[in-house]
Structure 1
């Protein structure tokens, strides 16, 4: 049974009073775009809605990976009071669709030509039972390495292209007096580094077998053991103060020249942008070591909940339409660090990192290497993801746990959560 169907009445009661139902002709939008760059990006959509005469009730729930927001959303839905729209991703869109709680956006999709506009891999995720129930806001690339060029220069190192080169560069950076790899010790951040290490050391085919298809032989085999050993070595590059640190605080360490590198999705670029920095000059970006021929995607989307009021439905449909219009796609993604969900837009205003991201997205979609992010809710159901998170974080923080044991636990976690 899925996590959604296991949600307890206690959770529902806990969340029932957290917000009020949207009024007619307005939308209540639940999301977790709360850091500086993200909040600025979300405000663009609010302004576009208000310019067309619709109200926007902001329901922002902090927490980088969205776990807190999903808990609140389940509470609201169970109490019969869901928001008009919510930031939901990947397989969870299908779960909400199976519960019969999502609205039908096919009218907007047909009028706006979404089938022609969106890449098929993106459109598929937005549909349930053949109908559009969500609208994509962007496409994030997760497997990025960010760097401060002044720190690299001080240490006499270049951007690494393999895991071995990363470890070598890390040693030189530490000797030069800097933190090699900025990291926040939270489960979703551990998993973000882990999946990039799996991808960089073992390739996209193995990644697909292990972290998307949950093949027991891949999860428990020699390649996973090797990936886990590489992952544990990453701790040597991190500082002692990482426990509980938010991702954007880790990004600030790179911005401020405290740390050399960060492995994080391209939402980190929103923080560099907010700080007034220029890609390729003030900060560097490259595919995570070993992953130049792969693209781990994380698509933010807004799913629309079924409403009975005609004016609220009209406001919902306006929101869905505006999300995919060029004005919002450009403004939001420039602020957020991601790339547009529709590949037909002029990218001349975007920086070199975003232009590389779009080119790599299109190339990997055609040639292979385009894989969904396990760490960011695109590959497996939330209960399986949570079980994998537990194994990854416990192993990462336990100096005595051998990689073989962690691999065995990975198999058990995937099997247990599948029931």
Structure 2
């Protein structure tokens, strides 16, 4: 039996942690079918995406683009015993969220249920917002059980009642930070069904020993990695950089796509920084890691935005630590679960550009402290944030779910006969 692994979009450059888990599960004997609500939009794939053996299956991104497929699926699922329950759940959700997006998720669920291969024995989705909506409706239609991995935006931008309904429907779930775990457990009568699983890193893909500092002493290199979106706080970083002293010489490398790139370039021009900043755009993982290896300091000024969206514990922080890079980040969400201020990095207040500038300046001028922080982060990452234990746990839970769910269905079928 296979697991249907449902994502909003696949493959995505910013979700290497998901690809890492999918590949890790394959190596542990969990066969999967990758189900994506969207077609890929990134210009590259990471090497790990090409290692993954699971087939890719795409739902209609917009129902109007494949009406025949959607209509055929709807006619088929209307005959399923669970369709009435799925329609009731959808009606409740639509009453509080009367949008085309909500209708699209029900249509996608109908296609998923109608086209489900017979060897799919379980569904596991990444993210509790739209992917979980599709999976919940499809589970009600088909009777196939489901579980989830919850991350960041999906938790903090979904209304609490909707989260509670999904938690009640799912058999179990995992989430990647203590902050997420505490919040999700507060929304369910069965808090033990949700467990903490840090993403961690597959350290076989990283240096076994801490790297030495880059040899180019003529210009100090800062690096930041992430999509140019509001919650990353890159505009705060540019403001902080405008306050740095003239010496030592420095430059910033930014890697990532995103809607705010043009705005950030314009801000850099206004601040007189454009010659010091290299916007490299989205890059394959090998290029990202090579850039980390050549940098002197990693900075990520994450913040919580008005709709509640925020980072969890960005994997790029762990990747920087894997290269023994000193790290400056903000006291947001789960970042302090890895970075202890003054021990494994520096923490500053979100949106405080003056404190950020002061922290950057101090580390630029203190090579010994940089090395101390980088080595401590390297050791902490290896000691507590390897991917293996988490993937082992998810594999065991999926294996149990596949066997248990299949046994229940076989017993039910035998009873009916």
TM range (shorter): 0.3 to 0.5
Higher radius of gyration, 1 or 2: 2
TM-score, length-normalised on structure 1?
0.34
TM-score, length-normalised on structure 2?
0.34
User: Which structure is higher in RCO with an 8 Å CA cutoff and minimum separation 6?
Assistant: 1
